[in-house]
Amino acid sequence: MRFLLLSLGLCLLLSSCREEPKINYSATKTADFSTAAVAGPHPLATKVALKVLQNGGNAIDAAVAMQFAMAVVYPRAGNIGGGGFLVYRDADGNSEALDYREQAPAAADRDMYLDEEGNVVQGLSTRGHLAVGVPGTVAGIAEMHRKHGSRPWKDLVGYSIDLAMNGYRLSQSEVGRIKRYHDDFAEFNKSTPFSDTTVVEGSLIVQPALAATLRRIRDKGAAGFYKGKTAELIVKEMKSGGGLITLEDLANYKPAWREPISKDYKEYRIISMPPSSSGGLCLAQMVEMLEPYPLSDWGFQSTPAVHTTVEAMRRAYADRAEYMGDSDFYPVPLDSLLDDDYLAGRMNDFREDSAGTSDAIVAGLEAVRESYETTHISIIDAAGNAVSITTTLNGNFGSKVMVDEGGFFLNNEMDDFSAKPGVPNMFGLIGKEANAIMPGKRMLSSMTPTIVEKDGELFLVLGAPGGSTIITAVLQTFLNVTEYGMPLAEAVNAPRFHHQYLPDVIVHEADALGNGVKEDLEKMGHQFRETKYMAVIKALQRLPEGTIVAAADRRNPDDDVKGY
Ligand code: DON
């Protein structure tokens, strides 16, 4: 059996088995394997998943162990203090989605981030204790294991305890990040394992408090987090900084199995995350709007292809702002939003020769201001079960609050709510009533863990971090493979663009829209902003004869992370 371990650093070792791509987008982080594959953001966590698979565990077992391992070695995004989504397709073709997104605490209020004049108080939803939603990760991992796990829970959690106690070595970029966030850590914490600015490349990070928390989770399952000592530590931490989460909030947290969004596009079927994510809905809307157009004839990033794709993006994100939120709390019109006639009608006002307009409700803020902090893992096991998981703290190290004696960072996911109608969040996204804050509600996400079938067979497993750019990155990667005929690594690495309705600009990478395309689009009335920040895809592709191709994105800022 040959397994694929694809991750940062290690993946470079695997590059020799690739042919030179037609278009060279530095497609170095890719490899082909025959049985099972794991793509993830950190080699140590990916190794853990690999070990689980080699010991006969299935894709869910590997994902369980890997997520806990990421909470140890990838603390800026891997987490037990955040939340996430699973899209799962078993080897028989049954698919389901697990929503373990954070929830607003019971004491949360729709105007909690507004001052007396009704203006949003900058920073309140992004930094510190008030920014924290009730974490869902541990409940989600326990639930996916309860339903689909085959290996003992204790063994799977055990890997992360070893990593926390034995330590991991810092890369140069991780050292830089520790220094950059020092003042934030100092503002909200007495001390953390990441507060020492004398660290250098190769310094060992040992996390005994986190190991103790993980032992409680190992011994008691989700109750080791949501009840007893860990819950008490979280609540104590909340009280120390004006946070809202109570013991009841924690005890009441429940993940939810949901019907995935499923949409056919030619011979493909896209299976993706429903609300509380907007990802699957927007992705499905965009492919349906684009299906009638001859994208492959037009060619990759030709003027008409970009123009049409941008206009589909604009319309999907307009619907996101208006209609999308947690469907347990707001009647998201799922059927209407996915209706073929509705979506065909959505393009009625599309003009081939000129840009559409987004109502200028607000002046355009930066669409993406921070770097990538969420994390995506794609796994296919030897039986053909596929796991697509995106999990997050939201910002780098979340709220920057670490639970004292608990050893883990808490999310700042409350910023994904619409703090005030029409006022952009940190990704420049706006929302309205559908995504207003309510106690117990989940904040709207853009995370888009996705599985694609071709002619009914497993074809792609993909997803990404990257805030609002996640959905358009998944769309473009899908189209690059299916319409533009690219091998997976090229599809992942090809330059990208992004439009999210507001601000009304095409955000694009420096190497996108070349050969006069940008100038042509400008003449049609489009506006632009160049960015360095785009989603970071992790993707697997199963070829017809069973080979699994894996590709990690050239965009990952952590290329130097240590695999030891
Ligand atoms: O759920 C969301 O859409 C965001 N909290 C994801 C954040 C993210 O991807 C951060 N990386 N840039």
Distances (CA, A) of 288 to 39, 98, 285, 351, 446: 28, 24, 5, 17, 18
Q: pLDDT-derived band of residue 37, with 50, 70 and 90 as boundaries? A: very high
pLDDT in the model for residue 28: 52
Q: pLDDT-derived band of residue 558, with 50, 70 and 90 as boundaries? A: low
pLDDT in the model for residue 9: 29
Q: Any idea where the domains of the chain sit in the sequence?
A: 4-17+34-257+374-417, 262-371+448-542
pLDDT in the model for residue 30: 74
Strand 36-39 relative to strand 30-33, pairing: unpaired
What's the angle, vertex CA 413, arms to CA 505 and CA 441, rounded to 5? Answer: 105
Per DSSP, the three-state class of 451 is strand
Ligand 1 neighbour 133 (Cβ under 6 A): no
Residue 5 above 50 pLDDT? Answer: no
Ligand 1 neighbour 285 (Cβ under 6 A): no
DSSP 386: E
CATH domain 262-371+448-542 topology: Serum Albumin; Chain A, Domain 1 (1.10.246)
Per DSSP, the three-state class of 278 is coil
Q: pLDDT-derived band of residue 374, with 50, 70 and 90 as boundaries? A: confident
Q: What is the mean pLDDT of residues 136-143?
A: 99
Distances (CA, A) of 92 to 25, 260, 515: 35, 16, 45
pLDDT in the model for residue 561: 65
Q: What is the pTM of this model?
A: 0.94
pLDDT in tens, 273-285: 999 999 999 999 9
What mean pLDDT, rounded, does the chain reach? Answer: 91
Name the residue among 70, 76, 69, 44 with its Cα closest to residue 409: 76
Ligand 1 neighbour 533 (Cβ under 6 A): no
DSSP 69: H
pLDDT in tens, 83-114: 999 999 999 999 999 999 999 999 999 999 99
pLDDT in the model for residue 422: 87
Residue 524 above 80 pLDDT? Answer: yes
Give percent of the chain above pLDDT 90.
86
Residue 327 above 60 pLDDT? Answer: yes
Residue 18 above 50 pLDDT? Answer: no
Q: Give the integer Cα–Cα distance in Å for 285 and 287.
A: 6
Residue 128 above 70 pLDDT? Answer: yes
pLDDT in tens, 340-372: 999 999 999 899 999 998 864 332 223 334 445
Q: pLDDT-derived band of residue 162, with 50, 70 and 90 as boundaries? A: very high
Q: Is 137 a catalytic residue?
A: no
Residue 326 above 90 pLDDT? Answer: yes
CB–CB of 316/278 below 8 Å?
Answer: no
Pocket test for ligand 1, best of 391, 394, 445 (most atoms within 8 A of CB): 394
pLDDT in the model for residue 358: 86
Pocket test for ligand 1, best of 470, 472, 553 (most atoms within 8 A of CB): 470
Q: What is the mean pLDDT of residues 402-427?
A: 96
Ligand 1 neighbour 445 (Cβ under 6 A): yes
Residue 564 above 70 pLDDT? Answer: no
Residue 29 above 80 pLDDT? Answer: no
CB–CB of 392/84 below 8 Å?
Answer: yes
pLDDT in the model for residue 19: 29
Per DSSP, the three-state class of 477 is helix
Residue 229 above 90 pLDDT? Answer: yes
Q: Which two tokens stand for residue 141?
A: 């991992």
CB–CB of 68/159 below 8 Å?
Answer: yes
Q: Which atom of ligand 1 lies at the shortest distance from residue 465's CA?
A: 9
Marked catalytic residue, from 30, 303, 374, 390:
374
In this predicted model, which residue has the larger pLDDT, 226 or 426? 226
Residue 413 above 80 pLDDT? Answer: yes
pLDDT in tens, 465-509: 999 999 999 999 999 999 999 999 999 999 999 999 999 999 999
In this predicted model, which residue has the larger pLDDT, 370 or 518? 518
Name the residue among 438, 525, 437, 507 with its Cα closest to residue 468: 507
Beta strands per DSSP E along 293-405: 375-380, 386-392
pLDDT in the model for residue 332: 93
